[in-house]
Amino acid sequence: MNYLVISCSLNPNSRSRLLAQEAYQRLASISESKTELLDLADLPLPVCDGADAYNNENAKLLKQRVVAAQGILMACPIYNFDVSAAAKNVVELTGRDGWTGKVAGFLCSAGGQSSYMSVMQLANSLMLDFRTVIVPRFVYANYPDFDDESVSSPEILKRIDELTQALVKLTSAVASFE
């Protein structure tokens, strides 16, 4: 079983990157499988155009890593009551081959409480378009949950524990089912 955590913020001071790092560390410690952390800030990608963008070398690299993973966590900034365009671009560039039969979970960083359901648009599209199995719990954090360089909220850290454990259990279950 391979696990991939994708940090989807391009902000150098990203908070969702801190969530991604926490999730990656937990996954690496609870699973003997290969676990990778992919930071989109380190992998400049073209905006998906449904055509030539798929031939971009970094887009190919992204797709290889998503295709190779069975359990995927996306750490997403919330922009305009949705995940960031960079996060959605990952799904557009990787598509059916990347997400069908996979298990996916989400960690979100937002500026307030009211965007709590924002990840559902992406989750629904993965479920309905690619039959991705969505982990039925996710992490939603906002500014008071962080200090300068780390996730400071014990509640959020507990939720990251629960999310990573659920991802491992569900990914194994789905693999045995298929």
Ligand X SMILES: Cc1cc2nc3c(=O)[nH]c(=O)nc-3n(C[C@H](O)[C@H](O)[C@H](O)COP(=O)(O)O)c2cc1C
15 binds ligand X (CB under 6 A): yes
Interface with ligand X in residues 38-67 (CB under 6 A) = none
Among 67, 79, 152, 165, binds ligand X (CB under 6 A): 79
For ligand X, the closer of residues 105 and 130 by Cβ is 105
Q: Measured from the CB of residue 83, what is the shortest distance to ligand X in angstroms?
A: 10
Among 16, 31, 89, 94, binds ligand X (CB under 6 A): 16
For ligand X, the closer of residues 148 and 178 by Cβ is 148
115 vs 4, 74, 78, 81, 110, CA distance in Å?
Answer: 25, 17, 7, 6, 7
Q: Count interface residues toward ligand X (CB under 6 A).
A: 16
Q: Measured from the CB of residue 1, what is the shortest distance to ligand X in angstroms?
A: 27
Is 118:81 a contact under the CB 8 Å cutoff?
yes
> What's the rounded Cα separation, in Å, for the pair 126 and 177?
19
Strands 71-79 and 34-39: unpaired
> What's the rounded Cα separation, in Å, for the pair 118 and 110?
10
Is 83:48 a contact under the CB 8 Å cutoff?
no
Q: Which stretch binds ligand X (CB under 6 A): 6-14, 95-103, 123-131, 150-158?
A: 6-14
Residue 102, helix vs strand vs coil: coil
Q: Which two tokens stand for residue 68?
A: 């190779």
Interface with ligand X in residues 101-130 (CB under 6 A) = 109-112, 115
Among 14, 21, 89, 171, binds ligand X (CB under 6 A): 14
Interface with ligand X in residues 132-171 (CB under 6 A) = none
The alpha carbon of residue 165 and the mean position of all alpha carbons in its chain are separated, in whole angstroms, by: 15
Among 34, 47, 81, 147, binds ligand X (CB under 6 A): 81
Among 69, 78, 160, 167, binds ligand X (CB under 6 A): 78
> What's the rounded Cα separation, in Å, for the pair 66 and 55?
16
| Cα angle value 89/93/98 (rounded, 5°) | 115
Q: Which residues bind ligand X (CB under 6 A)?
A: 9, 11, 14-17, 77-81, 109-112, 115
